[in-house]
Structure 1
Protein backbone atom coordinates (compact mmCIF):
# COMPACT_ATOMS: atom_id res chain seq x y z
CA UNK A 1 0.00 0.00 0.00
CA UNK A 2 1.15 3.53 -0.69
CA UNK A 3 2.23 5.74 2.17
CA UNK A 4 -0.47 8.30 1.32
CA UNK A 5 -3.89 8.18 -0.30
CA UNK A 6 -5.16 11.35 -1.93
CA UNK A 7 -8.81 11.62 -2.87
CA UNK A 8 -10.12 14.59 -4.81
CA UNK A 9 -13.43 15.81 -3.38
CA UNK A 10 -15.00 16.23 -6.84
CA UNK A 11 -14.17 12.62 -7.75
CA UNK A 12 -15.72 11.37 -4.52
CA UNK A 13 -18.85 13.41 -5.18
CA UNK A 14 -19.07 12.33 -8.83
CA UNK A 15 -18.35 8.61 -8.39
CA UNK A 16 -19.67 7.58 -4.98
CA UNK A 17 -23.30 7.31 -4.02
CA UNK A 18 -24.57 9.35 -1.10
CA UNK A 19 -24.41 6.25 1.12
CA UNK A 20 -20.82 5.56 0.03
CA UNK A 21 -19.86 9.17 0.76
CA UNK A 22 -21.37 8.85 4.25
CA UNK A 23 -19.46 5.58 4.80
CA UNK A 24 -16.18 7.14 3.64
CA UNK A 25 -16.75 10.09 5.97
CA UNK A 26 -17.43 7.71 8.87
CA UNK A 27 -14.22 5.77 8.16
CA UNK A 28 -12.17 8.96 8.00
CA UNK A 29 -13.73 10.13 11.25
CA UNK A 30 -12.93 6.78 12.90
CA UNK A 31 -9.27 7.12 11.90
CA UNK A 32 -9.20 10.65 13.34
CA UNK A 33 -10.67 9.43 16.64
CA UNK A 34 -8.16 6.55 16.79
CA UNK A 35 -5.25 8.91 16.11
CA UNK A 36 -6.45 11.19 18.90
CA UNK A 37 -6.63 8.17 21.24
CA UNK A 38 -3.00 7.45 20.30
CA UNK A 39 -2.08 10.98 21.40
CA UNK A 40 -1.84 12.42 17.89
CA UNK A 41 -4.21 15.31 18.45
CA UNK A 42 -3.15 17.75 15.76
CA UNK A 43 -4.01 16.59 12.25
CA UNK A 44 -1.16 16.61 9.76
CA UNK A 45 -1.45 19.04 6.89
CA UNK A 46 -0.04 18.21 3.49
CA UNK A 47 0.75 19.96 0.25
CA UNK A 48 -0.18 17.97 -2.87
CA UNK A 49 1.57 18.60 -6.17
CA UNK A 50 0.71 16.79 -9.39
CA UNK A 51 3.78 15.16 -10.88
CA UNK A 52 2.94 16.49 -14.34
CA UNK A 53 3.45 20.12 -13.26
CA UNK A 54 6.37 21.86 -15.02
CA UNK A 55 8.05 22.73 -11.70
CA UNK A 56 7.96 19.20 -10.24
CA UNK A 57 11.71 18.76 -10.80
CA UNK A 58 12.49 21.76 -8.62
CA UNK A 59 10.10 20.57 -5.90
CA UNK A 60 11.47 17.03 -5.84
CA UNK A 61 15.04 18.34 -5.74
CA UNK A 62 14.23 20.44 -2.67
CA UNK A 63 12.57 17.41 -1.06
CA UNK A 64 15.58 15.18 -1.89
CA UNK A 65 17.89 17.78 -0.38
CA UNK A 66 15.96 17.52 2.89
CA UNK A 67 15.57 13.72 2.80
CA UNK A 68 11.86 13.74 2.05
CA UNK A 69 11.64 12.21 -1.41
CA UNK A 70 11.14 8.51 -2.07
CA UNK A 71 9.95 8.96 -5.63
CA UNK A 72 6.88 7.58 -7.33
CA UNK A 73 6.13 3.93 -6.71
Structure 2
Protein backbone atom coordinates (compact mmCIF):
# COMPACT_ATOMS: atom_id res chain seq x y z
CA UNK A 1 0.00 0.00 0.00
CA UNK A 2 1.12 3.55 -0.67
CA UNK A 3 2.20 5.73 2.21
CA UNK A 4 -0.47 8.31 1.34
CA UNK A 5 -3.84 8.19 -0.37
CA UNK A 6 -5.29 11.30 -2.00
CA UNK A 7 -8.93 11.39 -3.01
CA UNK A 8 -10.66 14.21 -4.81
CA UNK A 9 -13.73 15.39 -2.88
CA UNK A 10 -15.74 15.68 -6.11
CA UNK A 11 -15.01 12.02 -6.89
CA UNK A 12 -16.28 10.96 -3.47
CA UNK A 13 -19.45 12.99 -3.94
CA UNK A 14 -20.00 11.92 -7.54
CA UNK A 15 -19.10 8.23 -7.33
CA UNK A 16 -20.20 7.10 -3.88
CA UNK A 17 -23.78 6.70 -2.77
CA UNK A 18 -25.02 8.70 0.21
CA UNK A 19 -24.64 5.61 2.44
CA UNK A 20 -21.09 5.04 1.19
CA UNK A 21 -20.22 8.67 1.85
CA UNK A 22 -21.56 8.38 5.41
CA UNK A 23 -19.54 5.19 5.96
CA UNK A 24 -16.45 6.81 4.48
CA UNK A 25 -16.87 9.79 6.81
CA UNK A 26 -17.27 7.46 9.79
CA UNK A 27 -14.06 5.63 8.88
CA UNK A 28 -12.14 8.88 8.56
CA UNK A 29 -13.51 10.03 11.92
CA UNK A 30 -12.45 6.74 13.54
CA UNK A 31 -8.90 7.21 12.26
CA UNK A 32 -8.88 10.78 13.60
CA UNK A 33 -10.01 9.62 17.05
CA UNK A 34 -7.42 6.82 17.09
CA UNK A 35 -4.63 9.21 16.06
CA UNK A 36 -5.64 11.62 18.82
CA UNK A 37 -5.59 8.74 21.35
CA UNK A 38 -2.04 7.98 20.20
CA UNK A 39 -1.08 11.60 20.81
CA UNK A 40 -0.65 12.33 17.11
CA UNK A 41 -1.65 15.54 15.40
CA UNK A 42 -5.09 15.45 13.90
CA UNK A 43 -5.81 16.30 11.26
CA UNK A 44 -2.53 16.27 9.42
CA UNK A 45 -2.20 18.93 6.76
CA UNK A 46 -0.66 18.10 3.40
CA UNK A 47 0.18 19.84 0.17
CA UNK A 48 -0.84 17.87 -2.93
CA UNK A 49 0.79 18.53 -6.29
CA UNK A 50 -0.20 16.69 -9.46
CA UNK A 51 2.82 15.04 -11.03
CA UNK A 52 1.83 16.24 -14.49
CA UNK A 53 2.41 19.89 -13.57
CA UNK A 54 5.23 21.56 -15.53
CA UNK A 55 7.09 22.53 -12.32
CA UNK A 56 7.05 19.05 -10.72
CA UNK A 57 10.77 18.47 -11.29
CA UNK A 58 11.57 21.60 -9.27
CA UNK A 59 9.34 20.41 -6.44
CA UNK A 60 10.79 16.89 -6.40
CA UNK A 61 14.35 18.30 -6.49
CA UNK A 62 13.59 20.35 -3.36
CA UNK A 63 12.00 17.34 -1.66
CA UNK A 64 14.98 15.12 -2.56
CA UNK A 65 17.36 17.76 -1.19
CA UNK A 66 15.59 17.53 2.17
CA UNK A 67 15.21 13.73 2.16
CA UNK A 68 11.44 13.77 1.63
CA UNK A 69 11.08 12.18 -1.78
CA UNK A 70 10.12 8.52 -1.98
CA UNK A 71 8.35 8.63 -5.34
CA UNK A 72 9.29 6.83 -8.48
CA UNK A 73 10.58 8.81 -11.42
TM range (shorter): over 0.9
Consecutive unaligned residues of structure 1, counting only runs of 5 or more, are none
Ranges of 4+ aligned residues in structure 1 off by more than 6 Å: none
In structure 1, C-alpha distance between the alignment counterparts of 2:51 and 2:62, rounded to whole Å: 14
Q: How does 1:1-73 map to 2 (within 5 A)?
A: 1-72=1-72
Higher relative contact order (CA 8 A, sep 6+): 1
Consecutive unaligned residues of structure 2, counting only runs of 5 or more, are none
In structure 2, C-alpha distance between the alignment counterparts of 1:71 and 1:4, rounded to whole Å: 11
The alignment's TM-score, normalised by the length of structure 1, stands at 0.94
The alignment's TM-score, normalised by the length of structure 2, stands at 0.94
Number of equivalent positions: 73
Alignment RMSD (CA, Å) = 1.3
